[in-house]
Amino acid sequence: MEDKLLSVCLITYNHASILVKRLKVFLRKSKLFNWELIIADDFSNDGTRRNYH
């Protein structure tokens, strides 16, 4: 049987101040399955991409 993969897409817009907290919550809950995380920044102007790129 093939392992299943959970794909999560996190869309951000001006989330620089909360992105790390969101990622920590996701990582705590993701230990029971295979996963991939896709982060997309919608041209934030608060430094989101610069800080977490």
Measured between alpha carbons, how far is residue 26 from residues 4, 33, 43, 46, 50 in Å? 17, 12, 23, 22, 21
Output the pTM of the full model: 0.62
pLDDT at 3: 80
pLDDT at 51: 62
pLDDT at 47: 77
Listed in sequence order, the residues at least 6 apart from 11 whose beta carbon sits closer than 8 Å to its beta carbon are 40, 42
* pLDDT tens profile 1-53: 468 888 888 888 888 888 888 888 888 877 777 888 888 888 888 877 776 55
